[in-house]
């Protein structure tokens, strides 16, 4: 998480807290060290953010401090709520946590909307305890154009190791697919993320190639003829 985002999150946590929040509690929630929290609190106080407290006791925001409202109309807010709720179906734990943080911000400004409900069933959660690789790791590799070494098991449970240039994540109802250029097969392949049992992000990059590769991939994917289920089946049979 970038520092600017973390400072915003600290403000949001303290605004909604009913009692002082310790640096240790903030560090656990934001997944950083307590020393980082102390530096962030100090930076916010220097910027005249009305945070009171001290190390060992906890911090609290003085009442009356507020953030600018989100400039969305009612239907845009409802679209945002439903879209965020649908992220529960992706099985992407990092996106789910981010969606929850956004939900809390929207609720803080506009109040809850319990009458908008989305069923949570969908792709299985990316659970490292079960051997599945975090989808956040895959998204980072795509964003940074870094090659990855995958350990992949197909539907016959045959395991292969290959170097892949990751290009996109395709979120289906029942699974998530990683699309990439596979150096082993010398072509585009789709990998079900729940069948990826190892992922090493390599130092080697493919900077500047991802955009062109995605354009070619998008021209080749069988969206119309087979639908999303066909693409998922292809991922199991073709990889």
Q: Where are the domains of the chain?
A: 3-61, 74-110, 128-238
Query: How many Cβ atoms are within 10 Å of 26's Cβ, its own excluded?
Result: 24
pTM for this model (two decimals)? 0.65
- Give the other-Cβ count within 10 Å of 115's Cβ: 6
Residues of the chain with pLDDT under 70: 1, 64-71, 130, 222-239
pLDDT of 224: 47
The structure tokens 């080749």 sit at: 220
- How confident is the model at residue 88, as a pLDDT? 86
> Do 42 and 71 contact (CB within 8 A), yes or no?
no
Query: Is-contact 158 147, C-beta < 8 A?
Result: no
Exposure string over 155-187, b if 16+ CB within 10 A, otherwise e: eeeeeeebbbbbbbbbbbeebbbbbbbbeeeee
Q: Are 188 and 182 in contact (CB under 8 A)?
A: yes
| Helix (H/G/I), strand (E/B), else coil: 161 | strand
Fold of 3-61: Arc Repressor Mutant, subunit A (1.10.10)
C-alpha to C-alpha distance for 154 and 151, rounded to whole angstroms? 10
């Amino acid at each position: 998480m970038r520092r600017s985002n973390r400072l915003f999150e600290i403000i949001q946590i303290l605004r909604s807290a009913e009692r002082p929040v310790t640096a240790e509690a903030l560090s656990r929630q934001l997944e950083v060290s307590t020393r980082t929290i102390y530096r962030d609190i100090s930076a916010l106080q220097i910027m005249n953010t009305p945070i009171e407290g001290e190390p060992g006791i906890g911090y609290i925001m003085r009442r009356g401090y507020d953030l600018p409202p989100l400039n969305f109309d009612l239907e845009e807010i409802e679209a945002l709520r439903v879209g965020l709720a649908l992220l529960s179906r992706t099985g992407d734990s990092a996106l789910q946590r981010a969606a929850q943080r956004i939900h809390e911000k929207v609720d803080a400004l506009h109040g809850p909307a319990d009458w908008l409900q989305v069923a949570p069933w969908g792709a299985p959660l990316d659970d490292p305890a079960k051997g599945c690789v975090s989808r956040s790791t895959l998204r980072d590799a795509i964003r940074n154009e870094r090659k990855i070494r995958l350990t992949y098991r197909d539907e016959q449970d045959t395991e292969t190791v290959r170097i892949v240039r990751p290009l996109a994540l395709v979120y289906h109802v029942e699974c998530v697919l990683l699309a990439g250029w596979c150096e082993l097969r010398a072509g585009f392949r789709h990998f079900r993320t729940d069948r990826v049992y190892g992922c090493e992000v390599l130092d080697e990059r493919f900077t500047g190639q991802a955009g062109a590769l995605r354009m070619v991939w998008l021209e080749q994917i069988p969206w119309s003829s087979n639908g999303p289920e066909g693409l998922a089946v292809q991922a199991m049979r073709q990889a």
